[in-house]
Structure 1
Amino acid sequence: MSTVVPLAPGISSPTVPHPSPTPVAGGTGRRPRLRALDGLRLVAALMVVAFHWTGVNRMPEVWDGAPRQLMPELHRFTAYGFLGVELFFLISGFVICMSCWGKTPRQYFNSRVVRLLPAYWVAIILTTLVVNYAATARNRPHLSKTDVLSNFTMLQLPLGVTEVDPVYWTLWVELRFYLLFAVVVALGVTYRRVLAFCGIWMILSVVADKADSALLKMFVMPEYAPYFIAGIAMFLIYRFGTNWLLLGVVGFSWLVAQHQLLGTKGSYEYGVMHSLSWNVMAGFSLLAFGVVLAVAMGAFDRIQWKWLTVAGALTYPVYLLHQEIGFALIRWARNHGMGVGATLLAVLACVLLLSWIVHRYAERPLSALMKRMLDAPGIFPLRADPPVRDRAADRERNSNDMAGSSR
């Protein structure tokens, strides 16, 4: 077990050469499930849904008019819904560090594959059917067979392939984060190694713009690194207790993040087709950092509503399914004379129901099947090559079996 050295009221410093079972500041027992984090994931997903449905003005064919004109009061808020992505990345840094602590590289790989691919593959099939064949799908090029098949790799962006749904771009960001963190997992996840990883990644992300290296920039992701790094530091606070160093990592990450918002601001102004306020963006970013930090420090431990776990489970399917399918449903509802408010409520209900069906009847059974396949012995022969197959012996054995059966 680690020793916790008090620094100030409520602030303590873990001296941890290796991970302890469950050290937590202020107590020795296990902390309850972080259901508040599940709720925040759904909030982030709904923010992105609101942004795509009512914040983007560049696709007026969806509503037969720009949302800014059709729903001006709502649009004032949902134009900033893209900030839900930053909240996603904060939570991802927290959750990935939490879920891989004490895991082997194989367990880490298996958990990521089982978590990401089943719902994603189902979403590709459903979204392709809507994009290519639904009468109310928005105007976009027909998806070719090779486009769809390439999307199953989740590497469509580096392959230069059209995405089945544009929202999949964040998956490429997540994959790069998983690849970077795999280095820590391979070395063995400890307090010091994770902190060193955060420091090295932060330095590389800050200097990447000046390094004139597209490859470095692609891997260290300067725009999003501060969120993942802060989330990781917040998990260390959750696991080991609060100290000034970890709070400094979180604070420094926000200082870098608020600067990177200047670049993010321009890219999203293209979609909303009007100026956005950096003050609002930086203010929400600060709020998101504060709320996730409060979760890490135990402020929401008493929130144990079981429905939040279900909400957290639906987050990924909702994110994957909401844009193109949602656009088609919005156009269908508008073609049948439904008002703006009724359309939004009805389409949201449909997407939530579809997400639950995908989670319950596709994602869960496929994940269980994939986990059994990946956990099978011999799949990852890490220490030695598997035995070479003796084909002559196989033929002789088959011949003997056939001779025996003929008798």
Structure 2
Amino acid sequence: MRHSVPPAGAPDAPGDGRGERGRRLVELDVLRFVAAFAVMSFHYMAASRSLWDEFPTKLFAPVARLTTLGILGVELFFLISGFVILMSVWGHTVGEFAVSRVSRLYPAYWFAVIVIFILYRFSGVSGFDPKLSTGEYLLNLTMLQGAFDVGHAGGVFWSLWVELRFYVLLALFSLVGITLRRCLVFLAAWAGLALLAEVTQNDVLVFVFMPRQAPYFIAGMAFFLIHRFGARSAALMPWLLVAVGYGMSLHAATERVGERVRLIGIARYPAPPEAVIVAITVVYLLMAAVALGWLRWLRWRPLVTVGALTYPLYLLHQTISAVLIPAYRDVLDPWLLTGITMAVSIALAYAVYRLVDRPGQRWLRSRLGALLDRSRGSRRRGRGTPSRTVPPIPAQSPEASVP
């Protein structure tokens, strides 16, 4: 697979998955896992012909019309990201935003790149081998390999490059100060420029404004505005932006899935355009339910952990399948082997979350936060102003910066 108005002050939601009055939006954790599970199902049961040595949709024909649509789990991730990242940057400086994003994304990502490097360098596993040089693996550690036209160590890593470009756009926008009115202008302008990029296919416009992914980020941010300002008179404009994003998403999704259908045929990839339209509609309805508070009844505490393990699950599930499926496909029933592979992937993702991701985030956030504090203190002393303690940078829950 190659988002009279009060000013932006202390945020309602610092980006840790918390909404109004500091309540954690557990429903977003649930949707993250749904998105990750959809992508995993797509890879295991619809896309990995090289692992099964035949088309997976033939092996799993009873569910093929669902698993082929699992590719759109990435689109759900982008919608959630638009919601959460606007929540995260609101009321914070660019430095705070950068610290929160780097500390959130990189620990588990570094671990995944190292595991993939070791696996393909020192074992006989060949499925999904990116065939990268040592230098290219090192470049992958920066997450910037896409800028240098270097392959991704993991098949799903392309989406992280998309996420990074989204973060840059939002960070630049935050320099002018984020308010509701400015958000509406920004989102409308981005939608227009993304549409222009899609029509012209100008390389620079496509790179900057990402017409195939922008609709989801735009709609996700609009959903956050509805969540935060839904009772205000300006709420009609966010809904209009959601509608624009939805229309553009239908085009982007049908084109993305259609390319795969045209490549291998509808019989081997049964995902007709009408099914894609239904899937995108369901995804938007789920996000609308979050924005309107209709899923507030979700309160079960373990769901927070379920949401937290989705990022390492997303990063590593393909690699795990490359180890297990070729090794056991000839001795185990495909359904049983897929179930075992999913269970192992989820268990290992939980282990990575507890042992690598969570402590790594804390360690990196504390050090980057200290550097940010010292930088601010130096600038204040240089201006002759008294130093003050900078509030701790909030922890980020995993959005999935995903596919």
Normalising by structure 2, report the TM-score: 0.85
Matches within 5 A, 1:379-398: 381=375
Cα gap change, 1:207/1:382 in structure 2, threshold over 3 Å: closer, same or farther?
Answer: farther
Equivalent position of 1:369 in the other structure: 363
Contact 1:137 1:331 in 2 (8 A): no
Query: Once the 2 structures are TM-superposed, how far is the Cα of residue 268 of structure 1 from its aligned partner?
Result: 2.9
Segment of structure 1 superposing worse, 72-81 or 310-319:
72-81
Contact 2:130 2:153 in 1 (8 A): no
- Report the AA paired with residue 44 of structure 1: A
Cα distance in structure 2, aligned partners of 1:300 and 1:272: 38
Question: 1:376-405: CA deviations, max 9, x gaps?
Answer: 2467736977999xxxxxxxxxxxxxxxxx
Equivalent position of 1:263 in the other structure: 255
- Report the AA paired with residue 157 of structure 2: Y
Alignment equivalent of 1:184, drawn from 173, 184, 188? 173
- What secondary structure, in the 3-state scheme, does the structure 2 residue paired with 1:107 have? helix
Matches within 5 A, 1:99-178: 99-138=88-127, 140=129, 142-178=131-167
Alignment equivalent of 1:249, drawn from 234, 241, 249? 241
Equivalent position of 2:388 in the other structure: none
Segment of structure 1 superposing worse, 94-103 or 312-321:
94-103
Equivalent position of 1:310 in the other structure: 305
Cα gap change, 1:271/1:340 in structure 2, threshold over 3 Å: closer, same or farther?
Answer: farther
Contact 2:191 2:214 in 1 (8 A): yes
Contact 1:209 1:217 in 2 (8 A): yes
Query: Once the 2 structures are TM-superposed, how far is the Cα of residue 140 of structure 1 from its aligned partner?
Result: 3.8
1:291 aligns with 2:280: no
Paired residues, what number?
A: 368
Cα distance in structure 1, aligned partners of 2:305 and 2:318: 21
Cα gap change, 1:270/1:107 in structure 2, threshold over 3 Å: closer, same or farther?
Answer: farther
Equivalent position of 2:349 in the other structure: 355
Cα distance in structure 2, aligned partners of 1:72 and 1:164: 30
Identity rate of aligned residues, in percent? 36
Normalising by structure 1, report the TM-score: 0.84
Equivalent position of 2:57 in the other structure: 68
Q: What 5-or-longer segments of structure 1 have no aligned partner?
A: 1-14, 389-407
Segment of structure 1 superposing worse, 374-383 or 348-357:
374-383
Contact 1:54 1:78 in 2 (8 A): yes
Cα gap change, 1:385/1:332 in structure 2, threshold over 3 Å: closer, same or farther?
Answer: same
Segment of structure 1 superposing worse, 261-270 or 197-206:
261-270
1:216 aligns with 2:210: no
Alignment equivalent of 2:38, drawn from 9, 34, 47? 47
Contact 2:227 2:291 in 1 (8 A): yes
Query: Once the 2 structures are TM-superposed, how far is the Cα of residue 311 of structure 1 from its aligned partner?
Result: 0.8
Cα distance in structure 2, aligned partners of 1:217 and 1:328: 36
Contact 1:131 1:138 in 2 (8 A): no
Query: Once the 2 structures are TM-superposed, how far is the Cα of residue 329 of structure 1 from its aligned partner?
Result: 1.3
1:321 aligns with 2:321: no
Equivalent position of 2:338 in the other structure: 344
- Report the AA paired with residue 259 of structure 2: S
Cα distance in structure 2, aligned partners of 1:298 and 1:141: 42
Cα distance in structure 2, aligned partners of 1:299 and 1:71: 34
Contact 1:118 1:366 in 2 (8 A): yes
Alignment equivalent of 2:79, drawn from 79, 90, 112? 90
Alignment equivalent of 1:282, drawn from 268, 271, 277? 277
Cα distance in structure 2, aligned partners of 1:132 and 1:158: 24
Contact 2:132 2:153 in 1 (8 A): yes
Q: RMSD of the TM alignment (CA)?
A: 2.5
Query: Once the 2 structures are TM-superposed, how far is the Cα of residue 108 of structure 1 from its aligned partner?
Result: 0.3
Cα gap change, 1:141/1:154 in structure 2, threshold over 3 Å: closer, same or farther?
Answer: closer
Equivalent position of 2:395 in the other structure: none
Contact 1:258 1:285 in 2 (8 A): yes
**Bigger-Rg structure (1/2):** 1
Segment of structure 1 superposing worse, 123-132 or 315-324:
123-132
